[in-house]
Amino acid sequence: MATNTRTRWQDLYGVQQFNLESNDGLRDHVALDPTFDAGDIGVQDGVFGLPLTDHPNLPAPASTIEDDQARGIAQVDMPERNTAQTADPPEVTLPMLADAYHGSLFGLSFFQAGAEEAESDDTELNILTCRPYDTADPITYLQLIRLLQRTNESEEVDQIMKGGVCSNLNFNGEVGQITSIEATVRAANWEQDDKSALSDGQVNFVRGVLPFKHQDMSAAMWDPENEQWVEMFIPSFELNLENNVEFSYFNDPTAVSSIMSRILASGSVTVPWSQGGGAGKNYFINRFLEGEPRKLVFYWGQSGSEFDGDDYLLDHDGNTVNKFKTGTTNPKNFMSIMVNARVSEYDMEGENEHMVVASFEGVRQWATVAQGYVPEDTETEGYINSVELRFGYDNTLLTRLPE
């Protein structure tokens, strides 16, 4: 009878976040191993398990090098085919359900130096605000692990990716479903090692935090003509973010540096033709014809006086949007997405009710307050970023960035 059978239900994934010290670099980080100690940062402080909705492989970066040689034989001879670890970053896509803790981990990894963490004035919340970065140097790396043995075994079979950076971050939601996050992580190094000791209670999971349902999302669009937010009721949306992070390799199978590339934001939103309030009928068709960006916000929060809910000024000038609707009793779990959306194309579909499906790209725009610019001090005009994310979470459970 086999005693070492491995099944899909036994898959155990973990992640640890490493913030760089002032003099650290990628090589310093790759030299470290995940420890999963109580004082380390994972999905929460001291919580490292990734409950993924699939079972992805953490692939080794290897390929066959082909060099045809004149050897006077009809067959391919072994010296002509060499399998070698290549100077390419290992890559894995991690699908999961959306909440503030998982979202903030990969939001920070994607936006790197563009992320800032601050404590809310009125609640025990930390707010992580993610904006496009203005420096190419990462400030934090991830270590991913897939444990492939039991705790009483000690073989070098567990898979580890070190020096990980989120290169793609996707958000999806549709009627009747849980909002999902899909994070693609590229890394500087891949290893096999014995990490069986980490599976003995250390790869723990977040408890008591419900993922975001699509039906609990509040969506709004800024109307510059009337200078107010228009609430939207949408069957589905998606947002795809890319930063195309690059890793530099030289005469070493491990990357020596990483460089953050340009951020691209794109997505789509489905709007019923009959929707009232200014966002229905041919509204998005006109946005396509005019090529004029509009701010779109997707928001999950918690009602009640415990949380002030200030986010992207959705209550700007008294025009309040219901930004608190949620199905969870946990007030310390919210997320919002803002994209300055320029409609790039559209379609009309729907088996019963007509729907306008508007595809968009996120663009940076110089604007006035009337056009949707949110002043940070006394300015009345400035840049609207192409995309911004915010996550709110219990500051007794998680602090992502050093003060």
User: What's the confidence (pLDDT) of residue 101?
Assistant: 96
User: What's the confidence (pLDDT) of residue 96?
Assistant: 97
Report the distance separating Cα 45 and Cα 399, nearest Å. Answer: 7
First to last CA, the chain: 55
Report the distance separating Cα 135 and Cα 143, nearest Å. Answer: 22
Report the distance separating Cα 113 and Cα 141, nearest Å. Answer: 12
User: What's the confidence (pLDDT) of residue 100?
Assistant: 92
97, 211 Cβ separation under 8 angstroms = yes
State pTM to two decimals.
0.90
Selection from 337, 333, 307, 336 nearest residue 393 by Cα: 333
How many alpha carbons lie under 13 Å from residue 231 in its C-beta half-sphere? 12
249, 236 Cβ separation under 8 angstroms = no
**DSSP assignments along 77-100, one per residue:** PGGGEEEEE-SS--EEEEEEE--H
User: To 5 degrees, how large is the angle CA 334–CA 335–CA 340?
Assistant: 150
User: What's the confidence (pLDDT) of residue 290?
Assistant: 72
37 three-class SS: coil
Looking at residue 19, its amino acid is: N
pLDDT, tens digit (0-9, with 9 covering 90-100), for 92-150? 999 999 999 999 999 999 999 999 998 876 567 888 999 999 999 999 999 999 998 87
Indicate the pLDDT class of residue 389, thresholds 50, 70 and 90. very high
User: To 5 degrees, how large is the angle CA 184–CA 188–CA 191?
Assistant: 95
Indicate the pLDDT class of residue 325, thresholds 50, 70 and 90. very low
pLDDT, tens digit (0-9, with 9 covering 90-100), for 164-189? 999 999 999 999 999 999 999 999 99
- Residue 364 pLDDT exceeds 70: yes
Per-domain residue ranges of the chain? 9-59+81-394
Report the distance separating Cα 10 and Cα 108, nearest Å. Answer: 29
User: To 5 degrees, how large is the angle CA 167–CA 168–CA 171?
Assistant: 150
Report the distance separating Cα 363 and Cα 342, nearest Å. Answer: 7
Indicate the pLDDT class of residue 276, thresholds 50, 70 and 90. low
Name which of 33-37, 230-234, 339-343 the model is least confident about: 230-234
Residue 347: CB atoms within 10 Å: 11
Selection from 90, 93, 42 nearest residue 186 by Cα: 90
